[in-house]
Amino acid sequence: MMPRDVDPRLLRGFVAAAEELHFTRAAARLYVAQQALSRDVRRLEQALGAGLFVRTTRAVELTPDGERLLPLARRVLRAHEDLAAAFTSPRALLVDLNTDGPSTGRAVLERARELAPDCELMARFESGLTHAAAEIAAGRLDVAFGYADGLAPALRARLAQAPVRYEPLAVLLPEGHALAARAAVRLDELAGETVYAGAGNPRTVEWTGLARELFAGRGIEVAPPAPVAVGKEEFRRVMVKTGHPVLATVDFLDMPGCVKRPLTDPVPLSPLSMVWRKGFGHPGLDALRAAAAGLAADRGWLVPPPGSWSPVRLTHGPGGG
């Protein structure tokens, strides 16, 4: 028989375990010990009189009762969040901009701050949408920008997204590179080059995937994994050491010891989206969406230039939450 009251903490632990299907990852997501999470799941199973998981040494799976509970538990937790939000001032909204420099996300954030001056919109710099999207799904981040169509389907299914811009791509070249004197670099001029695109960095899987798709059939190789450089000086040092060009966007911040050149013939585009958790609401999110739509209309961000290139997985359309 269903108890009258169920502790929301137990439901929160159940939902995390059900979404991760891995108790260690779910516990890390909730910042609790695995033993505590397992104990809470057992308490919930006892309260409901039903087994929710089948655990083996190799896998964790939901039982039919677990499958039935999951959408109900999500609705209960959302109702608790709505209740708390109705009687408290909105908390700060955490917005990942990927990098602390000029970017499309930065422009959207600054316009949103103008539209909603009473909202606290806090910038974060997680570097890579794959990582930022996982943080959003786990509730540790609210909004991020990036190539959302390059995310794993299971992760993308937990997010809402809205198209913001078709971002033209560029290449960063060491100052002594043969192509550095060009005002722009044709894609075919990179044939035979090895270009760094974040390979091996688990935070930027979507970006590496876009690069592989762009380079395929053009004689351009993706550079092997390299240590992730944090800060301009470390970036410059790694650039000098490897000598590899780096795939970037045209708005990427200038780096010492290298030059940035737009790519042409065709102009390659990265479809940039804004992403957030499905079902999440916040006045700051409303301001960000209005800012993105306004800037896209004013600046033609969603009008790709003729003859440009974009990934075949492109599914840009109206977003929703």
pLDDT in tens, 158-193: 999 999 999 999 999 988 888 999 999 999 999 999
Q: Which residue has the higher pLDDT, 300 or 28?
A: 300
Does residue 318 lie within any of the structural domains?
Answer: no
Question: Does 319 have pLDDT greater than 50?
Answer: no
- pLDDT, one tens digit per residue, over 240-254 is 666 789 999 998 877
137 phi, psi to nearest 5 deg: -60, -30
pLDDT of amino acid 272? 96
Evaluate whether 183 touches 261 at the Cβ level (below 8 Å): yes
| Pair (39, 179) in one structural domain | no
Does residue 230 lie within any of the structural domains?
Answer: yes
Mean pLDDT of 30-50: 91
Does residue 321 lie within any of the structural domains?
Answer: no
Most confident of 68-77, 121-130, 293-302: 293-302
Distances (CA, A) of 106 to 16, 77, 99, 138, 143: 31, 32, 9, 23, 12
| Pair (68, 149) in one structural domain | no
pLDDT of amino acid 229? 57
| Pair (282, 155) in one structural domain | yes
What is the CATH number for 284? 3.40.190.10
Evaluate whether 190 touches 220 at the Cβ level (below 8 Å): yes
| Pair (57, 200) in one structural domain | no
Evaluate whether 54 touches 60 at the Cβ level (below 8 Å): yes
What is the CATH number for 32? 1.10.10.10
| Pair (108, 37) in one structural domain | no
| Pair (57, 32) in one structural domain | yes
| Pair (136, 280) in one structural domain | yes
pLDDT of amino acid 159? 94
Q: What is the domain count for the chain?
A: 3
Least confident segment among 89-103, 220-234, 276-290: 220-234
Residue 180, domain extent: 167-264
Judging by DSSP bridges, how do beta strands 194-195 and 269-277 pair with one another? unpaired
| Pair (103, 147) in one structural domain | yes
**Phi-psi label, residue 278: left if phi above 0, alpha if psi -120 to 50, beta otherwise:** beta
Judging by DSSP bridges, how do beta strands 143-146 and 121-124 pair with one another? unpaired
| Pair (149, 286) in one structural domain | yes
| Pair (175, 196) in one structural domain | yes
- pTM tops 0.85, yes or no: no
Q: What is the CA radius of gyration of the chain?
A: 22
| Pair (249, 279) in one structural domain | no
Give CA–CA dist 158/15, Å, rounded. Answer: 13
Average pLDDT of the residues of the chain: 87
| Pair (172, 292) in one structural domain | no
Q: Assign 227 a pLDDT band (cuts: 50, 70, 90).
A: low
pLDDT of amino acid 88? 61
